[in-house]
Amino acid sequence: MAKYRSPLVSRYASPDMAYNFSDLKKFSTWRKLWTWLAKAEKHLGLNITDEQINEMESNLTNIDFERAAVEEKKRRHDVMAHVHTFGVCCPKAAPIIHLGATSAYVGDNTDLIVMRDAFDLILPKLARCIQRLSVFADNYKSLPCLAYTHLQPAQLTTVGKRACLWIQDLLMDLRNIERARNDLRFRGVKGTTGTQASFLALFEGEEEKVEILDKLVTEMAGFQQHFLICGQTYSRKVDVDCMSTLASLGASVHKICTDIRLLANFKELEEPFEKEQIGSSAMPYKRNPMRSERCCALSRHLMCLIQDPLMTASTQWMERTLDDSANRRICLAEAFLTADIVLSTLQNITEGLVVYPKVIERRLNLELPFMASENIIMAMVKAGADRQECHEQIRVLSQEAANVVKQQGGDNDLVERIKKSSYFIPIHSQLNKILDPSTFTGRAPDQVKKFLEVEVKPAIKPYSHKLDEISELNL
């Protein structure tokens, strides 16, 4: 009978991220940790031979998962099941595998390695999304469009400036995720309650050797620092820090893709749409923003997952309780797998965004006359008119034009009414200039140029060698 498979792996996540949370990665990392521990203990004088270490190194991925499952069912302990399974293929090394260690030595240290490696997969993807949006922003930095406050038309912005709002949020995510990744510290070699008592006994009270042991294994695992203080486990607030950055990323992507969905409704902007793609099984004309919808759906899940580590960290009694284990097996993997596919999908979207300038112009022209009323008043005052009288004249014409739009479903004809009004004759020749959309976008184009140069380029420069990869999605 076919078993349930998580859609995060079977349908969405990249092969690299799926492998990062696989059993093979997890348990081969356990074996690496046992090997690094044995190497460090040998280096510090314990009776461990090169032959034993070579045997362990030769069997890092030679894992009999069926035997491990049988052992775990018998022993009700996953770590001891794998200690025995490793020992079967390393009979000479079996007596020294896991020497002085506790389960958290392999469990926690592996989780930290896996999270570090997961961040290293996510960061270049995030940088690519930022870079793609930067190209888009630069291309459309001067294209005027309606801006919206309260989802009501407001003063103009540009298509590129709006994209910079998206980029700015993603830059904050890049900074936060880099910080979380670089702040990760190794649990190290700490023993059952974090006191290193078992290792102190192994080295007959030589504290310096215990400290060196901790340092050596930390370096073998590729970490710069290890915790000086921990209980049986590293503080579960580390998981909170890591997953909160991913939840925050989820909020950013949800906002971006919601904007894209709204703009698609306005027909100003569309996500990529393949020639053979079907938008609806019933309505052949539809071009649904399904990629953006997927991003929103998965981002919602990503944002919700932060509740798990928050509650776990708050309920870790004393040196630890085991009610963290089952929860963390699910939420840590799901958070990174979800972030992975959200970024792959967002990258795919940003590599093929389609802009419809004529639609943008038409929608802009429907609202621009109202927005230009203050400019028209100022021009009339310069021509010698009374400000209050001019305000009343344009108020009456604006109400009439609004009635045409709202009551009759017609176009905004305020400009035509102004052109027909003898009162506004002094500025009739200036109307085209007054109504030039580019005069309503302020410093938006220059803001885009400066933002891309000063903030974006330096932020993504460390990822320059990884920016060319195209996002291929199985949609």
Alpha-carbon distances, residue 127 vs 109, 114, 241, 460, 469 (angstroms): 27, 20, 20, 6, 11
Are the CB atoms for 209 and 203 separated by under 8 Å? yes
Token pair, residue 75, equals 């022993």
Rounded Cα gap, residues 256 and 415, in angstroms = 35
The Cα 106–Cα 87 span in angstroms is: 15
Could you tell me the sign of the dihedral formed by the alpha carbons of 121, 126, 127, 129, in that order? positive
Strand-pair category, 354-355 with 144-149:
unpaired
Catalytic site includes residue 280 = yes
Residue 150 a catalytic site member: yes
Give dist(CA 141, CA 160) in Å, integer: 4
**Which residue among the candidates 150, 281, 422, 465 is catalytic per the annotation?**
150
* Catalytic, out of 10, 58, 77, 280: 280
Amino acid at 372: A
Tell me how far the alpha carbon of residue 274 is from its chain's centroid. Answer: 25
Residue 367 contacts residue 145 (beta carbons within 8 Å)? no
Q: Which run of H or of E encompasses 154?
A: strand 152-158
Of 183, 40, 180, 185, residue with least CA distance to 112: 185
Q: What angle do CA 127, 133, 138 make, to 5 degrees?
A: 125
The half-sphere exposure of 453 on its side-chain side, counting CA atoms within 13 A, is: 6
Q: Side chain identity at 85, as an amino acid letter?
A: T
Q: Residue 346, CB half-sphere, CA atoms under 13 Å: how many?
A: 36
Distance between CA atoms of residues 87 and 201, nearest Å? 23
Contact 102, 323 (CB under 8 A): no
Q: What angle do CA 269, 279, 356 make, to 5 degrees?
A: 15
Instruction: Give the separation between CA 337 and CA 332, rounded to whole angstroms.
Output: 9
Which residues are marked as active site?
Answer: 150, 280
